[in-house]
Structures are given as structure tokens and as C-alpha cells.
Amino acid sequence: MKKYGLFNNLRWYLTYLRKDEPSLAWTATGLAIDKAAAALLGVFTPALLVGAIVQHATLGEFAWLAGLTGLGLAITSEVDYLLMTHDNVKSTKLRTVIEMDFHQKQWDLDYDQISSGKVQGLAHTAFSKGLSWTYAGAEAIYIYGRGSLIDIATLLVFLATLSTVIPWVFALVLLSAAISYAGLSWYRKWYQTNNVNWNKLSRQQAYISRNAYALENGKDIRMFGMAGWYHTHLDRLLSLQDAWQCRNSLRHFLGTQVGELAGLCRDALVYGSLVIAVTQGSLSIAQFTLMFGMTSGFITLLDQLLKDFSGLQTASIDLQELREFMTLKPRTPARPLTTSEQTQLAQRPVTIHFDHVTFRYPEAKTASLKDVSFTLEAGQKLAIVGVNGAGKSTLARLMMGLLHPTSGTILINGLNADLLPLATRFSLFAPVFQETIVLALSLADNVALTNPPQHQRVESALKDAGLADFVATLPQKAHTPMTRYTRDDGIELSGGQSQKLMLARALYKDAPVLVLDEPTAALDAIAENEVYQEYAQLASGKTSLFISHRLASTRFCDTILFMDHGQVLESGTHDQLIANNGRYAQMYHIQSKYYQPEAKEVPANDNL
């Protein structure tokens, strides 16, 4: 992974700042000036008041002096409050801008990129360390950068006085600061090298916690007694995280203690020298008060600068994964279609051709799809059948653009599909997957997935999907909220109803290609056959792809491809394949007994 230096990360952040929240530059500058003024008032006020007492000032003169200095401190305090309030709000808002860009990047990346384990791990760490809270990298770099700017501005004012009055004090403070910086640098080096272990543990804990409390997992956790399994793994991860945190805390403690010891020696020498000077009469009480305040303020500011600068460098380390993630580029080029390409792609029905397509998942030892060639003709109903793991769903995902071929070409209406903009390619397909995703929105919103939904189209889709009678019984009809995640009056759908909702969603989209990727896998064989027959009627006039591991469900299709181990072994109509008496025929005859009305149901994962 590329390493981004501190100044590179600062330039990156300042680009966002200038574009989205330029007022932060002014508030940071104002805070630096105000803090310097407040620090000077804090140093000179005690010296002035002590001097007035020593010089026997009248009560009125003392009151005026105390009032003016007090007013100055009050003004600087109020200005600090106003500027900090504005600054905190705007810096948090800027972090949300960066967060939105982060999420947009997730959407922009191709599905096969963002679904890979490597990119998922990078995204998790990028968000956790860079965006998850106020002191994550993307906001911490501003907070500590602003603090460093304020510290430097105030120190410059102090240096102009202290270095000329007591130069040896100036030199001693800088020496102790150098020692303290060395100790913190030692710790940061360890942190940068070892925080990858923390990232790994954090991802694992997030997975365990997310799945343990997922509502859809509740039945399995209880029925199979998995609570102990979750507790065991979570305890193990927490123990490993505690061990890492102990090592981290120990090294941070040792790194800071080097500076603390150097500071203790520095303070003993500096303050001891001032006390001796007063006792010997070489410094007046007023001068001692001034020098003591300036020295104390200078030391405090320098210590604060070290802490802020150390925090700035740590924030820069925490930005590494976020910067790396934001540089990822989608595989599919973002280019506009030419007029001729638009005309060619707009032809209906759609024709899709696979030309010697091979696909292997990243880090997989063998290909999931091997040298597959076929043509899904315009308006044709094509069935992809075979046992589980034959590569059927992989083929469908390649067709829709969720995956990209390792080799070979997919053509849509004669155009190279991998050169089409993803949004354009996705608009061609209306898929119904095995998984049912019901969002915490209204029923109509779940069907349309657009805002606002066209209610006449929603009603038509619900009717065609066989949900109209059920919707009529709901108190709010199509406006009824789904799930109880966000609404107490939300409803939960049964498995069959959820699957019909997915079909209604596909019908509402009204794309030219309908893809059914084993959406009835949870149904018995006879029910699946009936549903597929209904789907076939709804697919009239569209190019359609039907996927199943049950062969009788797809007898109505124009062409059937029989797949095994990522290869197309046989193709033809149902009657042709039966006549060939090959693998398809053998598998069909074995399964056929389950398609009799009096037959018992077969398991949903039947691999026959």
C-alpha cells in the first residue's frame, strides 16, 4: 500500500477545505490570533497587578487596571467560544462531506471490486480509522492541525520576548522538547507498524457483533444454540484486542515518560533559577511574576505543540487506508455512448452473446466459468440448469455486469458489454435473486426503489406478481411500512410474499431483460414449476434468463443450457436434450418423480 506523508495528507484535506468549507481557514486564523492575545494577557495581567501593588497604586488606579485586563480576558474568552463553536460545527460538516465521497466511491466501484475480501477489509479500516468519529483521521487532522497553528502563533510571540531576556531558558526548553519529540516518535513508529493487527481484529469483531445481533439470524442462533459460539469468539477477539491495547498503552506511556522526565529536569532548573534570582535581589517581584508567567506559558505551549503535532502525525497515519481507498478506480470506464452506440443498444428485444468467456474469482485456484460461448437471442427464453455450484449464478452476474470476465467477451446488441457505462448496463436488466431484500420503507417504495414511486405502475406490478389481494387487506395499502426496524406499525412478510415482492420490483423496473436466478429455491419442486410458468407469461416480449437446478421447471424455455463445473455440456430444447439421452436426460429422469402432484417435497438444495 502506498504511504501518504503528513504534508501530502494536509494538502489533500486543504483541497476539501477550500472547496467545501473555506470559512474554516478564517476561523483557524482568528483562533490563533485570539489565543495568542489571551496568552499574553494571561502572562502580563499578574505582573501588571503585582507591579501596581508594589508601586503603591491607588485603589482607583488598581481597579481600572484590573477592570481593563479582566475585560480583555473576557473578550478573548468570548471570541474563543464563538469561533470554536463555528469551527467545531464546520469541521464536523466537512468530515461528513468526505464521508459522502467515501460512500459514493463504494457505489462507483464495480460490484466484483467492492465485494472482494481485500477491498472490503480496506473499506472497513478506512471508515473506522478515518471517518467513524470526531478524532478519526479525517477530522483529527484538522483539529490537531488547527491546534498546532495556534500553538506556533502563540509561541512566536513568546519567543520574541523570552529568547532575548533569558536565552538559556529558551535553549533548555527546546532541548527538552526535542527529547520529548523523540520519545513520541518512537511510539508512533511502533503504532504505524503494528496497527494493521488492530485493524484485522477490529474487522473480525465487527463481523461477529453484526451477525450476532442481526434479526434474520435470530432463529438459527436460538435453535442451534449458537450464543455460546458467538460468546467464545467475541471473548477471544476482545482478549486479543485488550492485549494489543496493553502493548499500545505501554509504549505510549514509555514514549511520553521520556518527555515528562526531561520536562521535570527543565522545570527544576528554570524555576529554581528564577527563585534564586529573586532571593538574591537581581529580579523584582513584578519582574519575577512576569518571567515566571512567560516561562510557564512558553513551556506549556511547547508541550501542547508537541502533543498537537504528535496527534497530527497519528491522524495522518490513520488516513492511510482512507486515502488508498479513495484512489481506487472502477474497472468499467466512465464514458458517454456515441449516438450510433445508443441507437444500437436501444434495439428491442435485446440480444446477448457470450464469446469464449472464462471467469475465476480472485485468489481462487480454479475458474468458476470455463470457455463458455452461447447466444441469448432477442426475445428468447433461455434456461441455465445444472447442479449447485455449476456456475449458473456466476454466469448471470457476468451477464448483468456485476462481474467481469477473466477472459473472453460479452456482447449486448453487438456492443462490448464491458465498455458500457455501468448505470446503462444495469438499466437493461430486471433481476430476481434468491435473496430477498426488504427495506424499512413503504411497500410502494420497496417496489419502485425510486422517489417518488408511480403508484399506478406499483399497483400493476403488485397485481402481476400476485400480491394485489394481500395488499388490499393492509390498513395503509401500498403505503404500509415494511419491517419494524424504524416503524412500530411496520409489517413483516412471509418468505413467499417477500419473493413475490422481489418479482413486483423487477416488473416495475420493466427492463428489456428479465433474469430469474433461482428465486424459488425455497419452494418445493411443484410450486417452483408453477411459479416459473407464471414468470414465463409475464416475460412475454422480453429477453429472459431462467436459472434453476430443477430441470422440469424450465421445460417451457426456447433453449436450455446444461452446465456442470463451469462448462456448458449440452444445449438445445427440452425434447432435444431428452432425445440425446445425455447428462440432462439422466438428471431429468431422476428428478421427474418429484414433479408428480402426489410426490413428496424435495429439499430446496436438492443437488440431483
Checking if the pLDDT of 166 tops 70, the result is no
CA distance linking residue 543 with residue 329, whole number of Å? 32
- Name the helix (H) or strand (E) containing 419: none
Closest by CA to 43, choosing from 274, 239, 297, is 297
Q: Kindly report whether the peptide bond that precedes residue 475 is cis, defined as omega within 30 degrees of 0.
A: no
Mean pLDDT, residues 160-175 taken together:
64
Give the model's confidence band at 374: pLDDT under 50 very low, under 70 low, under 90 confident, else very high.
very high
Cell 502533543 -> residue: 307
Can you list the alpha helix ranges (DSSP code H) found in 539-602? 574-580, 583-591
Residues 6+ apart with CB under 8 A from 478: 442, 443, 444, 447, 455, 458, 459, 462, 471
Q: Kindly report whether the peptide bond that precedes residue 349 is cis, defined as omega within 30 degrees of 0.
A: yes
Read off the C-alpha cell for 14: 486543504
> Burial, 409: exposed, middle or buried (Cβ in 10 Å; 0-12, 13-18, 19+)?
middle
**pLDDT tens, 22-52?**
999 999 999 988 888 887 777 777 767 777 7
| Domains detected in the chain | 6-326 (1.20.1560.10), 431-510 (3.40.50.300)
Report whether 385 contacts 532 (CB < 8 A): no
**pLDDT tens, 291-316?**
777 777 777 777 788 889 888 989 99
Checking if the pLDDT of 376 tops 80, the result is yes
CA distance linking residue 10 with residue 145, whole number of Å? 9
Q: Which residue did the predictor score with more confidence, 339 or 607?
A: 339
Checking if the pLDDT of 262 tops 60, the result is yes
**pLDDT tens, 198-252?**
777 777 777 777 777 776 677 667 666 777 777 787 888 888 888 888 888 888 8
Strands (E) across 472-512 are located at none
Mean pLDDT, residues 470-483 taken together:
91
Give the model's confidence band at 151: pLDDT under 50 very low, under 70 low, under 90 confident, else very high.
confident
Closest by CA to 546, choosing from 428, 371, 376, is 376
For the entire predicted model, the pTM comes to 0.75
Read off the C-alpha cell for 327: 484512489
CA distance linking residue 393 with residue 370, whole number of Å? 14
CA distance linking residue 605 with residue 388, whole number of Å? 8
Return the biggest CA–CA distance within the chain. Answer: 120
Checking if the pLDDT of 414 tops 90, the result is yes
484 three-state secondary structure: coil
- Name the helix (H) or strand (E) containing 411: strand 407-412
CA distance linking residue 539 with residue 370, whole number of Å? 29
Mean pLDDT, residues 317-330 taken together:
93
Q: Which residue did the predictor score with more confidence, 132 or 495?
A: 132
Checking if the pLDDT of 603 tops 60, the result is no
CA distance linking residue 182 with residue 259, whole number of Å? 8
Q: Provide the pLDDT for residue 219.
A: 65
Assign residue 19 a region: left if phi > 0, alpha if psi is -120 to 50, beta otherwise?
A: alpha
CA atoms within 13 A on the CB side of 553: 29
Report whether 394 contacts 403 (CB < 8 A): yes
Q: Which residue did the predictor score with more confidence, 439 or 52?
A: 439
**Pairing mode, if any, of strands 513-517 and 415-416?**
unpaired
Q: Provide the pLDDT for residue 96.
A: 93
Checking if the pLDDT of 596 tops 80, the result is no
CA distance linking residue 316 with residue 140, whole number of Å? 9
Residues 6+ apart with CB under 8 A from 546: 381, 382, 383, 384, 516, 532, 535, 536, 553, 554, 557
Read off the C-alpha cell for 238: 476482545
Q: Which of 10-24, 138-152, 188-202, 387-401 has the lowest mean pLDDT?
A: 188-202
Q: Provide the pLDDT for residue 22.
A: 93
Q: Which of 333-347, 362-376, 514-528 has the lowest mean pLDDT?
A: 514-528
Q: Provide the pLDDT for residue 224.
A: 65
Can you list the alpha helix ranges (DSSP code H) found in 213-284? 218-223, 227-279
pLDDT over 70 percentage in the chain: 89
Closest by CA to 573, choosing from 588, 555, 585, 590, is 555
CA distance linking residue 53 with residue 132, whole number of Å? 54
Across the chain, what does the average pLDDT equal?
Answer: 84
Dihedral pair phi/psi, residue 381, rounded to 5°: -105, 115
567 three-state secondary structure: strand
Report whether 424 contacts 345 (CB < 8 A): yes
**pLDDT tens, 477-491?**
999 999 888 888 889
Express the helix, strand and coil content of the chain in percent, nearest 5 each. 65, 10, 25
546 three-state secondary structure: strand
Can you list the alpha helix ranges (DSSP code H) found in 109-226? 111-114, 117-130, 137-165, 167-212, 218-223
